[in-house]
Each structure stands twice: as structure tokens, then as C-alpha cells.
A and B are shown apart, each in its own frame.
Chain A
Amino acid sequence: MLKNIDIEITKDLIAEHGINDEEYAKILELIGREPTYTELGIFSAMWNEHCSYKSSKIWLKTLPTKGDRVIHGPGENAGVVDIGDGQAVAFKMESHNHPSYIEPYQGAATGVGGILRDVFTMGARPIAAMNALRFGAPEHEKTRHLVSGVVEGIGGYGNSFGVPTVGGEVEFDPRYNGNILVNAFAAGLLDTDKIFLCAAKGVGLPIVYLGAKTGRDGVGGATMASAEFGDDIDEKRPTVQVGDPFTEKCLLEACLELMATGAVIAIQDMGAAGLTCSAVEMGAQGNLGVELNLNDVPTREENMTPYEMMLSESQERMLMVLDPEKEDIAKAVFEKWELDFAIVGKTTDDLRFRCIYDGMEVANLPIKDLGDEAPEYDRPRSEYPAPPALGDIPADIDPAASLMTLIGNANGASRRWVWEQYDTLIQGNSVQIPGGDAGVVRVEGADGKKALAFSVDVTPRYCEANPREGGKQAVAECWRNLSAVGALPLASTDNLNFGNPEKPEIMEQFAQSILGIGDACRALDFPIVSGNVSLYNETNGIGILPTPAIGGVGLMADWSKMMTQSFKNEGDVILLIGKNGTHLGQSAFLRDCLGRIEGDAPKVDLDEEAKNGAFVRGLIDAELLTASHDLSDGGLAVALAEMSIAGNLGATINVSTDLQTLFGEDQARYCITANSANIDSILARASEQNVTIVQLGTVGGDRLMFGDALSLKVTDMRVAHESWFPDYMTAEAAQ
């Protein structure tokens, strides 16, 4: 019989662990006695929102996760998708929101470290990273400090580890003042016949701990990520982990070397809730019990208790089940990379999760129930309020000034200041770096032509106005960005950032967004193969904008056909694929030029998306285009300005210059350019495929001109576009 040798289990202690009365009653029923302090910690780690998905699971189950190319969907460390030639791509996106607000450098750095570990745990060498960042208003007192720390942290970890960062998003909005979002994406390359999973196999086999030593950092981190912030936020600093990219790089190389020897039977990284979560998952997934001897866990601090060891979130650690016959080979690899390793336990046949410390059992729990019996809630939802109606737009708007605002303000300006701090070129395979529609990375080991494209997208203001359409739009925009470079979209990962799910309107927002994501993923054959949920992004009762970020992966047969958005040649013809702009509700124009947040989100016609995307990819594959760019924030005018700035060439555009045409954010649209000799062929294809297409004008000169209504010098647009970020950040030094 287990007894509490250290601490009495009181009502307050249970509440501090984020376990409610109902959940505690379930614990008593499952184990038939009072839990020990260590066991209480284990339950809190396994049953908090972050690890158990207790509020979200019921909705996540509605997402499409299967497809012809999907090898592993959600449930593994990362999703795995077949890319032909015996190769596969493993990828996932994960949030590190709460820690990054408290300690931006380390929070963001360890977010990158965690997602890279998820990918190489599968046996994949990481080949690309992205990140989706959301900060508060630029004028908010903390914003500069957070931007600077987060960007430096992402770079500090990813650059040292050696993965190219090829894409991402940065957005500012006052709704993130108290809760920034740091979502990190990573993708890795592996062979389809060498995928490593976490399910343990075989009884009595050694469980090996590998990597950095265990410290007290991050104890209770996953529990923190499952609660709102209050005014005591700064007191939570000790729950943020500290990253060590050097150890992680060694861990990567050691793991890949070890996997190649055939010594690894099962492997699981220690992420949220550290040793607890990884050991339980290994056992439960393999239908085995696990016994850990905590005295053998390498620790970096003295007198660590079993409770602290089980809940530590120290970084750069792995758990493996090894083939005992290959223990010497394994040992040689660990020693070469000077990594700590220790046999900390064994697999058993009794389906119990046992922890022994100083010869005494400090935990003895039913291993399957820890995951399977975790609470699951169908939280109440309330009707979602309609957004305020779109009011009249004044007649005296100057379109040129509006366009300059849109390309030169906090949300429209170039992100060069950010991505130049990331190593975008390492590994020598980056064929399109940030700044374009999607990042593109060449795939090694095939014919030298194959490449993968990556994009991460969401428009939070659409999701708030209309969660269902906003969910669809996030998927559609990501899918469109991949299509715009010429890649066939294969599959996606979601990072669902929302407020407090215990509020019925937030729960409804969450549910509707997921339904919208599901609609779009089904219609566009773009299954969700991995993901992460971050709830309770609220401070003092104010929630973030709903932000379900979608990270997508696309495949190109031949990267030399890849498109970029820059205008290339004088005389090229510019065409718009899709309908003329009409929709100003929730547009960037309305928000940034008029300071108004009104109207419904644009409707997403998924059939139109599928049709237009296939059309663009066909044109690119037939080598009929010279540039391609998707239309999103700021509509047609912003897209043309970006193409112009990127190519350092102007254009003459012959369309009506009403605000809807210029700045409307209707979906399923692309802007392309082509040599005039190819126009007949492009129009014929469009007519065959029933695609709406219109000629807009011609590339040339040093001004972007829409008739008489709007004429801007490319150099002036570039200055506006490139200045905002560096000016904003250097104002910090001046303060």
C-alpha cells in the first residue's frame, strides 16, 4: 500500500494542481485510494488541458486526418506523409505562447527546440522550420521587448541547431497585448521504411534516458499552459525552461546515428510534462507497463524529489526502449556525442506505471487509464454573436494614400527585419526564402528536382467575425500559398490558439472554427496530420483573437519550375484569376485605413478555391507564367504593389479604381504574369476549366499606375514597405 511519506493531500493542493472535484473523484475511483503527492503530480500532468485535450478532443475528432499519402496522422510525435521515391516528410506545429510571454527569448527558443525534437524523434532529419507570431499593439509597452526577444530566441535556437527557417507570419493586434502567440513549425525528411514510433515492444527491455540532465526548470509548465494569466504573471518565471541548442544538435545526430544501427525499438521525446508523459505514452501505446527507478535519472540539481523529476520540463531529453543485444553499440554512440544516458527502468507486462525512489514505490498507477480515462468535456456553447454590420465608406478616400498605409504599416510592412535574423540558407537547399508566398526547400536523395513547399496562415479577424468561414479561410489561404509557387498541397498541421474554453462563446468559436477547418480540408484534400491546441489565452478576462494557424506542406516535382511573386520582365501581361473584388468587411483596408472593424468575413467558396488552385498549378507546370502571387490582406492593390516592389518594376493597370476592386479581400484569387505570347494559351485553358480570368495590364516602368486614380513610384513603395519594422525596432534604443 502506497503511503504519503512527504506531503498531505489537501483540498487546496488538489486545486493547485488544476484538478477539480469531479476529476479527483475519478482518480479515487480509478486507484481505489488516496494518491501520493507524486501521483497527484502525474495526474495533473496527464489530465491538464495541454496534455489531455479534454475540452477540444470531442471537436478534434471531426477533422479529416486520412488520405492516400498519409502514413501517420495525429497521435504520433509528428504527422508523416508520403512524398514518393520511398521518402516521407514528418511535420508538426506547436505553441509556446505562455512561456514566451513570461520569458520571450527562452520561451520561443524552447518552442523551436520542442518541435524539432518531435520531428527527429520520428527518425527524420529536420529540413525546414517556420513560425507564426502574434504580438500586441506596436505602441503597447511590452511589444518591442517581446518581438525582440522572441525573434532572437527563435534564431538563437534554430540557427545553432542548423535548420533553415523558410517561412512564417508576424501580426500585431491589441488583442494579443496580454497573450502573445508563438507557434513553431518544423518538418523533417525520412525514409518510409525507417519511421520510429513511441510504442514500446517487448517485456523486460531496458528503458534508456538520453540527453540533458533533469533540473527543476519547467516543473508545472503544462499546468501553467492550461490556465489564464492574472496579475501574478511574473511569478511564473521559474516554470519557463531554458534551451540548449548545442545539446539538441548532438541529440539529433546521436539519435539518427543510433536509429541507423537498429538498436532503437521505441523512442519518445520528453516534451510537456517530461518524463511522466513520455514514459506513460511509451507503455500505454505498446500495451505494456513501465517501471522507472528514479534514483537512476541523471539530475543537474541536488535533492530533487520524485515529484520534481516526474514533472520537470528540462529540455533536450529523450526516452528510448533499446534492443538489449545492441546496448554496447548504443553506448558508443552516446559517448561519442558526450550525452548523458542512463538505464532508468524497464518494460513490464502488468500495465502499471510504477516509480521507485530509494527502494520505495512512490507511484503505482494503471498506465492505460492515465491516458484513456482522462476527462473529456463537451463544454457548453452559446450562440455566437454576429459582427457589427459594415457601415458606409466615405467617398473621399485617396486610394494612393491607402495603399501606402497598407504596405507600410505594422501589419503590411516587410518582415525582412525578422527573417534576416534566421538562417534561411543552411543545408544549401532553400530555393525560396521568406518574403514570398511559400518557402521552398529542395529534397535531397531523390533526383535533385523534387522540392517541398511550406506556408503557415490564418486571418484571426475573420475567425472572430465568423469562426466557420475564418476556419475555412485559414486552410484555403495556406493551400493557395502552396499552389501559388506551383506545389501540390499534400497535408497540413493545425495550431489552435483560443481563449478560455469554459466560456460558452469561446467554446462555440472554437467548435465553429474547427468545423470550418474540416470543411476546407475535406474539400481541398488537405488532411490534418498533426497539431496542437492552446487554450486559456486570456489575461484578466480578455481573450485573444481566435487564431487557428494552419501549416501546410506541398510537393513540387521540379523546383526549377517554381514561381515567385516578383515582376520579371517589361511587357509581361498581368492577369487576375478569380472574381473582381467586392468584399470590404473585416478587410485590412477597413481596419488600417479607416480604423473600423466591421462586417462579415469574406465567404470562402471551396469549389472555386479547388478549381482556381488547380488551374494555377497547371499553368506553372506548363511553364506558361513568369510570376504568381495569391491575393490576401489588402486585396488586389497590395498584391500588385508587392509584386512590383519584389521585382523592382512598375505596371500599368486598367481596372476600375473603386475601393472594392482595389482592396476587397474576396477569396480564391491569384495574380499572375506571363509573356504576351502565352496569353492565348492561358485564356484557352481558363475557358476549358471554367475559370474566371481577366487581363489587368502590363509590367513596366518605374511606377505602379491604376489609370489616373493611383500612381506610385516603386522606389517610394519600397521605402514605405521596408522601413516600418527597422524604424519601429530602433525606436527601442532611442527610448
Chain B
Amino acid sequence: MKSAVILFPGLNRDRDMLAALEKITGHKPHAIWHGDAELPKVDLVVVPGGFSYGDYLRAGAIAARSPALAEVKKHADAGGLTLGVCNGFQILTEAGLLPGALMRNRDLKFLCKTIHLKAENTTSAFTNQYAEAPVFPCPIAHHDGNYQVDPDGLKELQDNDRIAFRYCDADGNTSQAANPNGSIDNIAGILNKRGNVLGMMPHPENLIEKAHGGIQGRFIFESLVKAVA
């Protein structure tokens, strides 16, 4: 699988994402500086995490309006696989590639911890390797991960199997107590209508080897490898 990672100033999990893609796919991903508008032909485009432009206006707002994002949009509109993680998820919602918005965490604090996720859709291009063990521990690290969408939008997501991941406890219960940031319906990650764009707050790229205490983050990338094979 060929991939490209888009780089904006202020992103800081770009190196984590580049390393994960290389370790799992065996191919060195393209690192595309936002100013170099041309996207190479790849199977997957990733917008990684961090604080693009310091998140000074609103998380992801400035990067979403850059020429580089227009290229990402073209790629996604043509059916190309597109993944946004953390700030990348915020950027994709700001750019209109995904519905809803990421608000400040319920407790108004940055939160970095290991929570549990449940893969609710285990057939998508991003999640087809989670069918056997859909509940797994995964790290989060964000200040603005409180996903919100209007009631119609939520229904649309629920009815069309577009909720990729929800926050849950170790037993898979998607209770309020297991919701770290107040996001609606415990949503941690969503798919677009066509199923080729995934945005998620947790960090699968920090869960790919023994040193991370788990490898369940790999399954996203392995799902993608399978999907493009």
C-alpha cells in the first residue's frame, strides 16, 4: 500500500505516523509539505495529529483552508482512502470531509490516557481486521475531542453504520462513565458516507508494537492493506 502523510507546521505526531506506516506497510510513506500542493498517486492519504498552526483560531481551522487540503479533498472525492487522526480528524471536519465538529473536552482539560475503544463497524476499509476482538485499549491525547453533531447527523451516522469507534469500558459497555471527553453517543471515530474517509481522535499509530503495550492500532493499517490488495 502506498501512502502519503500531509505535513502542516505545528503538527507533531507526523513522525509517529510516518514510522507506523513504514513499519506496517513496508513502504516508506511520502511526507508531503503543505506548500508542495501536488499529491503523488497513493492509496492512502493521512492527515496526522498535532497542533496545526498552533490551533490558535480553532483546532484544525487554518489547515482545513489551505491549498494542500483542497488536494486531499480531490483525492477523497475520487474515492481515495483518507485517514485523519486527532488534529487530522479536526481538520477533516473543518474541511467538510466529515460531518460534525470537535469541541473542547467536557472537563476543559487536555487528556492523555489509555481508554477502551469498541470497533462498531468491522467491515469498512479501515476496520475489517477488528471483527475478532472489537474491544481494545487505545491511547488518546487531546484537548478538543468532544465530538458533536446535530440530531439528524447523528441518526445518519447511526443508521448507516458510519460510527467506526466508540469509547467504552474494558467489557465493551459504551457507558457515560467510559466517555473521556463528552462526545455525543461516545463517538471516537466516524466514516464518511462512501466509507473511504475515517476521522478518529485516538492514536492507533502509538499502539503498534510491544513497546506501546499493545498492537491493536496496527489493525487499522492492516485493514487498509487488505482493502487495497
Q: Which residues of A contact B (CB under 8 A)?
A: 152, 155-156, 159-162, 244-247, 249-250, 253, 336-338, 420-429, 431, 442, 559-560
Contacts and interface: CB of A to CB of B under 8 A. Distances in A.
Nearest to A444: B19
Contacts of A420: 111-113
B56 A246 contact: yes
Nearest to A339: B9
Q: Is the interface of B mostly helix, strand, loop or mixed?
A: mixed
Q: Which of B10, B19, B20 has the most CB of A within 10 A?
A: B10
Given A428-B212, A429-B211, A250 B109 contact: no
B141 A423 contact: yes
Interface string B1-24: 000000001101101100110000
Given A160-B51, A160-B55, A425-B141, 4 more contacts: A421-B111, A428-B205, A429-B211, A559-B211
B157 to A, nearest CB: 28
B203 interface: yes
B204 to A, nearest CB: 11
B12 A428 contact: no
Contacts of A425: 112, 139, 141, 203, 206
A442 B210 CA distance: 12
Contacts of B53: 246
A421 B12 contact: no
Contact of A427 (B10, B16, B54): B16
Interface string B91-112: 0000000000000000001111
18 contacts: A152-B109, A159-B141, A161-B12, A246-B56, A247-B54, A249-B9, A249-B51, A336-B35, A422-B110, A422-B112, A423-B141, A424-B112, A425-B112, A425-B141, A428-B16, A428-B20, A428-B205, A428-B211
B10 A246 contact: yes
A420 B180 CA distance: 12
B50 interface: yes
A428 B206 contact: yes
Interface residues on B, range: 20 to 34
Contacts of A422: 110, 112
Interface string B201-227: 001011010111000000000000000
A424 B110 CA distance: 12
Contacts of B55: 160
A4 to B, nearest CB: 42
Contacts of A421: 109-112
Contact of B211 (A155, A156, A159, A431): A431
Interface in B105-141: 109-113, 139, 141
Nearest to A155: B110
A246 B51 contact: yes
A429 B141 CA distance: 15
A156 B109 CA distance: 10
A244 B110 contact: no
A702 B109 CA distance: 34
A422 B142 CA distance: 10
Q: Which of B15, B19, B35, B211 has the most CB of A within 10 A?
A: B211
Q: Which of B55, B111, B139 has the most CB of A within 10 A?
A: B139
A336 B211 contact: no
Contact of A245 (B51, B141, B211): B51
A427 B205 CA distance: 10
Given A246-B51, A250-B10, A337-B9, A426 B16 contact: yes
Contacts of B10: 160, 246, 249-250
B109 to A, nearest CB: 5
A560 B109 CA distance: 33
A337 B20 CA distance: 25
Nearest to A125: B15
